[in-house]
Amino acid sequence: MAKPADLRLCYERDADGPVAIGDRLDDVRIIGFAFSRKSVPPDRLADRAMLEGEEDLDEPPSRTVLSLDAVPEAITRSGPSPVEALPEDWLRLAPSRVGDAFQQAVAARGEGGEFVIRLLDDVAKRSHRTWLVGGTVRDLLDHDLERPSNDLDFTGTVGPGELSEVAYRRRRRAGLTDHVWRVSPQLVCSLAPYDAPHERLLEYMPLNPKGRNACPPVWGGDLRADAATRDLTVNSLCYDHRQEIVIDPTGDGLAHLHARPRILATRNRTDDPVDQARLVLRFLKFCFRWEETDCTPIQDAVRVFPPDLAALIPEDRWNQIIRARDRCVPEGKRGEAELEIAERIGPAAVSLVRAVHKRTS
């Protein structure tokens, strides 16, 4: 079937499809969705809908998304689709090589890859949308890279509870009973072998409007809001393997990726010190990975971070920060080379790197 000239039309919401942020329940606006860990194992009952006036709840409300499905006459589907806020030219048909490379990455996982595709098919039958996002999309679109990412990281409109329910059924059919499904505190869903939890077949995090440290974690919204919680514009690019569409939800990701030197920029404006530290570490990672980069945009972003950033990180979060640093900075680059790059980025980065050195020396 031919695609419409405006690819946003491919994502028009179904009249009886899943509820979304901006819909109204008995004329009260839905402002987001939360996840309750009281359902064990997690299922659709764990996905909760939040209404205006519930912004400051410490715990997810008792109102399940499933209960909203049961009373469709009370729902007004007035919320936008996940791409409605994006200009038309931020969506484009993917080059054929992108689809071919995606299929190769899936096939390389054997039964695990088959599980991923069938799981996404099951989700699509429920009128939810999913997109491959992050490093794999970046590398599929930049075929000059020598070290392509093979991670299968997805985002979408389906909640962690509903996805978990679907995954449990699909896992049994696929014979992956030696794998375990997990939902992290930040709502990252993953499937990995019991004895190798880091060898994940996939990761999925629902569209995220508020960042990973929101409490309770909130999901929903659109691709533009989600991109504002990610590290770099080049890592915010999305690929829809069903529609064969590439989406650039910042409007700059493709241009920054194809520029020479590549441009490191972020749309993340978090004021949380832990998130700021994670961003700095991700910036370091790509400064090392791409030796020729234009760092001016991230210098501008880091300039508004507190110059004493390290002093603002809670003591109980330092283990996470150090683990993140170990993932981001190659062992051979730690020390003076790391500090040299930090000095290019700004005082907050220097504060963080010096504190890490002190804690790991």
Mean pLDDT of 170-191: 92
Asked whether residue 320 is assigned to any structural domain, the reply reads yes
Banded pLDDT at 217 (limits 50, 70, 90): confident
How confident is residue 50, by pLDDT bands cut at 50, 70 and 90? very high
Under the banding of pLDDT at 50, 70 and 90, the label for residue 291 is confident
Residues 54 and 200 in one domain: no
Q: Note the pLDDT of residue 16.
A: 87
- Do 219 and 267 fall into the same domain? no
pLDDT at 5 over 70: yes
Q: Please check whether residue 348 lies inside any domain of the structure.
A: yes
Mean pLDDT over 91-103 rounds to: 93
Q: What local confidence, expressed as pLDDT, does residue 146 receive?
A: 54
How many structural domains is the chain composed of?
3
* pLDDT at 144 (0 to 100): 57
- Give every CB contact of residue 187 below 8 A, 6+ residues apart in sequence: 35, 160, 205, 206, 208, 217, 219
Among 146-150, 152-156, 346-350, the range scoring the smallest mean pLDDT is: 146-150
Residue 90: pLDDT over 70: yes
Boundary of a domain, candidates 42, 60, 76: 76
Domain hosting 322: range is 263-361
Please indicate, yes or no, whether residues 158 and 296 belong to a single structural domain of this protein: no
Residue 127's contacts (CB-CB under 8 Å, 6 or more residues apart) are: 14, 17, 18
Domain boundary among the residues 54, 76, 98 is at: 76
Q: Average pLDDT, stretch 201-230?
A: 89
> Residue 246 pLDDT more than 90?
yes
Domain assignment of residue 11, yes or no: no
Q: Is residue 149 part of a domain?
A: yes
At residue 46 the predicted structure's pLDDT band, cuts being 50, 70 and 90, is very high
In a domain, residue 179? The reply is yes
Residue 10 lies in a domain: no
Whether 299 and 252 share a structural domain? no
What is the per-residue pLDDT for 69?
A: 84
CB-based contact 65:157 (threshold 8 Å): no
Average pLDDT over residues 240-260: 97
Q: For position 148, what pLDDT does the model report?
A: 61
Task: Classify residue 8: in a domain, yes or no.
Answer: no
Q: Are 163 and 86 in a shared domain?
A: yes
Judged by average pLDDT, the poorest of 16-30, 140-154, 158-172 is 140-154
Q: How many CB atoms lie under 10 A from the CB of residue 147? A: 8
The answer on 346 and 233 residing in a single domain is: no
In a domain, 1, yes or no: no
Cβ-proximal residues to 34 (8 Å cutoff; 6+ apart), any chain: 47, 48, 50, 57, 60, 61, 216, 217, 218, 219
Kindly state whether residues 99 and 176 are assigned to the same domain. Answer: yes
- Average pLDDT for the chain: 93
Confidence of residue 297 (pLDDT cuts 50, 70, 90): very high
* One domain, residues 229 and 318: no
One domain for residues 158 and 175? yes
pLDDT value at 211 more than 80: no
Q: Check whether residue 292 and residue 347 sit in a common domain.
A: yes
Listed in sequence order, the residues at least 6 apart from 218 whose beta carbon sits closer than 8 Å to its beta carbon are: 32, 33, 34, 50, 208, 209, 210
pLDDT at 147 over 70: no
106 and 192 housed in the same domain: yes
Which of 233, 258, 283 is where one domain is finished? 258
Mean local confidence (pLDDT), 219-240: 96
CATH code of residue 230: 3.30.460.10
Each residue of 309-323: pLDDT tens digit? 999 999 999 999 999
Average pLDDT for 288-303 = 95
pLDDT at 154 over 70: yes
pLDDT computed for residue 209 by the predictor: 81
How far, in Å, CA of 68 to CA of 158, rounded? 15
Q: pLDDT class for 142, splitting at 50, 70, 90?
A: confident
**CA–CA dist 299, 251 (Å, integer):** 20
Whether 24 shows a pLDDT value over 60: the answer reads yes
Distance CA 322, CA 327 (A): 9
Q: Which residues of 157-186 are buried (b: 16+ CB within 10 A; e: fewer)?
A: bbbbbbbbbbbeebbeebebeebebebeee
Provide the whole-model pTM: 0.95
Residues 160 and 288 in one domain: no
